[in-house]
Structure 1
Amino acid sequence: MKFSLSWLREHLETTATLEEICATLNTIGLEVEGVEDRGAILAPFRTARIIEATQHPNADRLRVCQVDAGEGFERVQVVCGAPNARTGLHVIFAPPGTFIPASGITIKAGKLRGEESGGMLCSLRELGLGEESDGIAELPDDTVPGQSYALFADLDDPVIDIAITPNRGDALAVRGIARDLAAAGLGELKPWLTATVESRFDTPIDWRVTFPEACPWVLGRSLRGVKNGPSPEWLRRRLESIGLRPVSALVDITNFFTFDLGRPLHVFDADKLLGSELTICRGAGETFTALDGSEHVMTPDDCVIADSRGVQSLAGIMGGAESGVSETTTNVFVECALFDPVAIALAGRRHNLHSDARQRFERGVDQALPPAALEAATRMILDLCGGEAGSVVSAGVEPAWQRQAHLEFARLETLGGLSEAPDHAVHLLERLGFAVRERDARHVVVDVPSWRNDIATPMLLDQRPDLPPARAQAAAQGAIEIDPEVDLVEEILRLRGLDSVPAISLPLRSAVPLPALSGRQTRIAGLRRQLAARGFLETVGFSFVAMDQAAAFGETPADLHLLNPIAADLDQMRPTPLVNLLAAVRANAARGYPDLGLFEVGPGFDADGQKLIAAGIRSGHSPRLPG
């Protein structure tokens, strides 16, 4: 999960430095995998203006430029080969000693075809910021020479990359990360409110759900008269900072909310949909072309969104190319739904499709957010693309996600090993969004927020089939009772920092350490030592050999024949390691090493199963052993 520092500060009111933020993220279990600080890489580059550009006297394709790059470089001569280098142009200047990211070279002062050159005028590609171009970057005419280009272009914005564990779907949102940092005391979470967008017409498309197990709740609304085009600069930069390629305003808005709130959305071109109804149903063998161009055959286990013509989206994973928006799109339908995490994970694996939406749905998204997220997305579409919004249509109902968890304060020390004041423990939970339902001196009961799908969720134990029913039921009931409490203990511990938990040694089972090896392991190790002491070298061979070789040492049962061998001559499970040892002796003798002793302690196979066999072989002349 990547996010920029400025994006984080849209949700978190904090004065903390980048170093403090990264240290706190590591402390609370959101491990920082890397920080990309483009501002530091681009620090030497500065804005400049070409005072004068004249033809190079010794080269047709070069120009000699007098450049004003601010203090210390008020008039520096630079030889430039860009065809657009001209007098009065505002440019990006790299002084001597500057490392150029795209080419990996360091600029040096010198001469080009006999003319002094004290730096370089750069294109955006050379800074690693743009595509291939025919000339140097052109800055606005009112640019002041001598500024840091990173500051001028708002590129002094570090990007943090954190690892997310599978249970923390809420941390796949910038707001979720800000909430955790605020709870850890690194600032205050800014309020997030969205106003309801007034509808101007009745949405002509309705929902029908025939696969409620995979999609319990779906909302949508039409917008007409929109104008799709490039996103504004702030949105483009925000997406580019985390490695996403801006596509168009409509697509970029959905990507923005996927990362900002952890709320995947999809926008259909309404004029490309056939009929007045979208159905969420099972697949039925249709061929579906995804937005990435890949084709997939839908199965009855897949949840799809279909119009009267056919499948238009592999629900929760990727939309279809047939109904995707383009620069000519004027009417859209926005979908916002809840999908079953297991169904999404299995479908994504089945079709080998990976997307940011799948990553969030299969970990669990905020189950109460869809109405507010749809309003926020509608408002942004209207602000950036114009048009007017229709009414909200929906199918299904909001899942009964509400649940409670309890905590005995004493458990913080007995389970977590850390003494914590009850008031502070409750304060930490409240900052994470838990609401106190009841509390006394001994315990607290809290309501779990809608975005924490990992807290107090129903458990499914994979118990031994031979476990007595009474004991199995008691174990299952005990897990149901203790699991929510353990979840709350974990939350408090991670906000305090796991490093603050004192180290305690595990209790000893006995004063005398138990044997590290079993009797069988001891005998096998002793056998290896004896064989090695007699001049044998140990080998390790494949457990499968050629059938004709195996037949020389006994029977070759059909059930020990490999149906899909890694090689044509390795198609039978070996009856004894001697098969491999003889092959090794033959190979060594063919290469001029006939005198050797080899052994292997390994498996042999027959109709009764697998046995452990010690086998040894000598060939040629053996050295005389003393004694």
Structure 2
Amino acid sequence: MKFSLTWLKDHLETDASLSEITDALNAIGLEVEGVEDPAQRLAGFTVAKVLTAAKHPDADKLQVLTVDTGTGEPLQVVCGAPNARAGMTGVLGQPGAVVPSNGMELRKSAIRGVESNGMMCSVKELELGEDHDGIIELPNDAPVGHNFADYHGSSPVVDVAITPNRPDCMGVYGIARDLAAAGLGTLKPIAIPNFAANGACPVEIRTEDAQGCPAFYGRVITGVKNGPSPDWLQQRLTSAGQRPISLLVDLTNYLMLTFGRPAHVYDLAKLSGAVVARRAKNGEQVLALNEKTYTLDDSMVVIADDTQVHDIAGIMGGEDSGVQNDTTDVLLEIAYFEPSRIGVTGRTLGLASDARTRFERGVDPEFLQDGLDLLTGLIVELAGGTPSEDVHAGTAPNEAKVVAFDTGLTARLGGVDVPADEQRRILESLDFAVADDWNVTCPLRRNDIEGPADLVEEVVRIHGLDAVESVALPRMEGVARPTATPEQQLERKLRRAAAGAGLNEAITWSFISEAEAATVGGGHWTLENPISEELKVMRPSLLPGLLSALKRNLDRGGSSIRLFEIGRRYLADGEYPALVCVMAGNKTDRNWAQGKAVPFDAFDAKSMCLELLRAAGAPVQKLMVMDEAGDFYHPGQSATLRLGPKNVLASFGAIHPAMLDTFGIDVPVVACGIHLDAIPAKKAGGKGKGGAINFARPSFTPPALQAVTRDFAFLVPTTLAAGDLLRVVKGADKANIVDARVFDLFTGEGVPEGQKSIAIEVTLQPQDKSYKDADLKAITDAVVAAAAKQGAELRG
């Protein structure tokens, strides 16, 4: 909320400086987000008098002015304003000044061959209003040569963040009340203007929705004269970021911004019959002041007459009954609306306004009559007219909350020792009534007060949040125990490993759309009240979110995308931790040695999967490579890694082209996914199975004898997976074979139809003595025999 220092001092008698005021606001919990001084923007603009005005020799619509700036040496200025003339007093922007409306720096220049030393300015150019038809005309007694900012009375503007629980500070007067309670001045009483009511209100006013609109006050004023607002009013509205519209509309905004009390003015000539607060009918429509038409339902409160809806109650008035410059008779409306109903209506219609902001938080129900009288008095004073007697339809909430308070709570909960007398003074300065037994009656405007803790907050913030000392928590004796669980330690280790492998971590939504969930088999949990339809289903897999992130990176020109995420997937029987990574684009960019770029393939996904499983402590040497990775993988270019036929630890491969089309991705993508919950826990301290995962690095002693390698080439059926052959080869002699890897795959000339040649390098590690020929032959025979069980035949 923004307000000028001048506006604040209308209601707070204080000698405090701007910095003292902003410090006090922060200290009492009203955070100052910024301070803007319009005088700085108006630096270089001077009150100046036009001495002469002559036609420009080379332009029909321009004049050459001689301008007195109080220095004794008149300046020559070229001006195109139609109202520029000799003898008038205006505002001159001299060279070096920056025009607030467009940021243009003024310079000495030649316009159509005539020297010009600055610019005579309009209201709009100085951002003091919307008038741009001519330059500013000041009174003849304006002091020539004075800084215009000082003459205009420009005041610093403070921007304060008001939290949702403080609707009482949604007006300048409420902020002044808090500052006065904090000892920064004296709060001025609200002065209700004097006026004489003349006769009964000619319009019937009633409420037919006692829940949505418990109270509706109003009166008619006839014979008003609408038009532009006086300068003081326009200055205050402008400081709050409001655009002055007309006197009648500006006064309702002034009442709202000053006292937090929204109000509305109807053109009486545009109303027909009784004016009623009621529920809308399903399908009713209203053209609002923002020139948009809204369709209503029966949960919403409206203000209507006998013919149509004129107002979305508590949010925005209607265009059909809005006041214009020729309006002469008006109906004033000040009502109390039930906060939750206003909030629901605003969200349903997608309609925000200053009035809604205040009503949905709760306005002061005690300020109905005073608000109506204030608005009436201001209109009569500034626009003339004759007011009728007021009408009260319904009754506003009037039951005050009483809270039993213990002053000792302030020290226990607030951490600051405030004497009981000072606590009483603070509460009473905020209009709380404190009885001798410390039963505290809350003002009706403070609907945020629920119990004693809220009163402690009031005392502490007015006493000064800065007065609360920072006290360190007591340290526990002994050494703190680790707080991370084995699962958290595993996730941390995998994050480091994935980042070290060149992957970038992504964090995506735990919710996806139904269409995205369908690509991975469908979701099991659907939200009843989602943020949007795109975030409706709790993800059964992390893959859709990562593919969406990958798509965004590709769209922005990424040539090599490597992403991973550790998170939860939500299945029918619970949530499970997983790690998924996706890779797309170029594994290596084109270069002089390789030539063209090399893209990622399914083997890169497998390699990454094994590397991450190894980092997680999984027994990768025992894993089986099997199919059935999932329909979202490319068949023939994907597989699973399992510990036994049923325990799936991970999957990897190329993503199916149909799924890539669903996400709008036009380049190949490979991925791998690890089920973290399926990784078996390591033995802890040698005490059987299970237990915490042990991340200590095992000791390693290099063998004394050098390893030996032997190569084997087998003819196998084309349907046999290389991983199955590797598994049996490694198991042929576990005492001597420490590793085996495929180094060649060949089909073609010399290989029978329906078969392929797989070449395997086997690594043998002698233990206490070197191998003899007989030892090597025995190992070779064992390897060949084991391979034969898979249908493999040794070539040549």
Report deviation, 1:131: 4.2
Quick one: which of 183, 186, 203 aligns to 2:184?
Answer: 186
Match of 1:394 in 2: 392
Q: Tell me the secondary structure at the aligned position of residue 322 of structure 1.
A: coil
Query: What is the one-letter code of the residue matched to 2:397?
Result: P
Match of 2:644 in 1: none
Match of 1:499 in 2: 466
Q: Is contact 2:506–2:546 with CA below 8 Å preserved after alignment?
A: no
Query: What is the one-letter code of the residue matched to 1:5?
Result: L
Match of 1:480 in 2: none
Partners of 2:23 and 2:401 in 1: CA distance: 32
Partners of 2:518 and 2:268 in 1: CA distance: 67
CA pair 55-432 structure 1, distance change in 2 beyond 3 A = same
Report deviation, 1:384: 2.1
Match of 1:66 in 2: 66
TM-score in terms of structure 2 length: 0.65
More deviation in 493-502 or 198-207? 198-207
Q: Tell me the secondary structure at the aligned position of residue 343 of structure 2.
A: helix
CA pair 121-614 structure 1, distance change in 2 beyond 3 A = same
Structure 2 counterparts to residues 82-93 of structure 1, below 5 A = 85-93=84-92
Q: Is contact 1:578–1:616 with CA below 8 Å preserved after alignment?
A: no
Partners of 2:406 and 2:8 in 1: CA distance: 34
Deviation sequence 1:561-602 (CA, Å, 0-9, x none): 9999979xxx99589999998984797599524584323789
Q: Is contact 1:12–1:178 with CA below 8 Å preserved after alignment?
A: yes
Report deviation, 1:153: 2.3
Match of 2:287 in 1: 289
Partners of 1:203 and 1:51 in 2: CA distance: 55
Q: Is contact 1:207–1:393 with CA below 8 Å preserved after alignment?
A: yes
CA pair 171-572 structure 1, distance change in 2 beyond 3 A = closer
CA pair 129-612 structure 1, distance change in 2 beyond 3 A = farther
Partners of 1:270 and 1:545 in 2: CA distance: 51
Report deviation, 1:122: 3.0
Deviation sequence 1:485-539 (CA, Å, 0-9, x none): 1111101111122221111233456633242321122234446667888x68678
Structure 2 counterparts to residues 462-501 of structure 1, below 5 A = 484-501=451-468
Partners of 1:242 and 1:548 in 2: CA distance: 45
Q: Tell me the secondary structure at the aligned position of residue 213 of structure 1.
A: coil
Match of 1:221 in 2: 219
CA pair 224-613 structure 1, distance change in 2 beyond 3 A = farther
Partners of 2:516 and 2:185 in 1: CA distance: 74
Quick one: which of 268, 271, 281 aligns to 1:270?
Answer: 268
Match of 1:232 in 2: 230
Q: Is contact 1:80–1:121 with CA below 8 Å preserved after alignment?
A: yes
CA pair 5-593 structure 1, distance change in 2 beyond 3 A = same
Match of 1:455 in 2: 449
Partners of 2:125 and 2:298 in 1: CA distance: 50
Deviation sequence 1:320-369 (CA, Å, 0-9, x none): 12222222322222111111111001101111111111111111111111
Q: Is contact 1:53–1:87 with CA below 8 Å preserved after alignment?
A: yes
| Alignment partner of 1:405 is 2:415 | no
Structure 2 counterparts to residues 55-454 of structure 1, below 5 A = 63-70=63-70, 72=71, 74-80=73-79, 85-109=84-108, 117-131=116-130, 133=132, 136-154=135-153, 156-194=154-192, 197-439=195-437, 444-454=438-448
Q: Tell me the secondary structure at the aligned position of residue 381 of structure 2.
A: helix
Q: Is contact 1:538–1:598 with CA below 8 Å preserved after alignment?
A: no
Match of 1:479 in 2: none
Partners of 2:129 and 2:543 in 1: CA distance: 64
Structure 2 counterparts to residues 19-34 of structure 1, below 5 A = 19-34=19-34
Report deviation, 1:93: 2.1
Q: Is contact 1:5–1:158 with CA below 8 Å preserved after alignment?
A: yes
Partners of 1:59 and 1:341 in 2: CA distance: 61
CA pair 175-405 structure 1, distance change in 2 beyond 3 A = same
Query: What is the one-letter code of the residue matched to 1:350?
Result: T
Partners of 1:100 and 1:592 in 2: CA distance: 57
Q: Tell me the secondary structure at the aligned position of residue 336 of structure 1.
A: strand
Deviation sequence 1:113-162 (CA, Å, 0-9, x none): 766554443333332334474654333333331111112223x2112111
Partners of 2:546 and 2:73 in 1: CA distance: 84
CA pair 393-114 structure 1, distance change in 2 beyond 3 A = closer
Report deviation, 1:30: 0.9
Partners of 2:286 and 2:546 in 1: CA distance: 55
Q: Is contact 1:578–1:615 with CA below 8 Å preserved after alignment?
A: no
Partners of 1:157 and 1:304 in 2: CA distance: 39
Q: Is contact 1:51–1:87 with CA below 8 Å preserved after alignment?
A: yes
Partners of 2:381 and 2:517 in 1: CA distance: 77
CA pair 408-395 structure 1, distance change in 2 beyond 3 A = same
Report deviation, 1:84: 5.2
Output the aligned Cα RMSD: 4.1
Partners of 2:78 and 2:219 in 1: CA distance: 58
CA pair 433-78 structure 1, distance change in 2 beyond 3 A = same
More deviation in 209-218 or 253-262? 209-218
Q: Tell me the secondary structure at the aligned position of residue 473 of structure 2.
A: coil
Unaligned runs of 5+ in 2: 548-563, 565-579, 589-595, 617-628, 632-646, 655-669, 671-741, 745-760, 766-796
Q: Is contact 2:517–2:523 with CA below 8 Å preserved after alignment?
A: no
Report deviation, 1:207: 3.1
More deviation in 248-257 or 110-119? 110-119
Partners of 2:467 and 2:312 in 1: CA distance: 46
Report deviation, 1:393: 1.6
Partners of 1:455 and 1:566 in 2: CA distance: 38
Q: Is contact 1:382–1:388 with CA below 8 Å preserved after alignment?
A: yes
Q: Tell me the secondary structure at the aligned position of residue 389 of structure 2.
A: strand
Structure label with greater radius of gyration:
2
CA pair 447-189 structure 1, distance change in 2 beyond 3 A = same
Q: Tell me the secondary structure at the aligned position of residue 147 of structure 1.
A: coil
Partners of 1:175 and 1:16 in 2: CA distance: 17
More deviation in 592-601 or 319-328? 592-601
Match of 1:471 in 2: none
Q: Is contact 2:432–2:443 with CA below 8 Å preserved after alignment?
A: yes
Partners of 1:612 and 1:329 in 2: CA distance: 78
Q: Is contact 2:299–2:345 with CA below 8 Å preserved after alignment?
A: yes
Partners of 1:114 and 1:621 in 2: CA distance: 85
Q: Is contact 1:206–1:394 with CA below 8 Å preserved after alignment?
A: no
Deviation sequence 1:381-413 (CA, Å, 0-9, x none): 222222222222222223133122232221111
CA pair 614-191 structure 1, distance change in 2 beyond 3 A = same
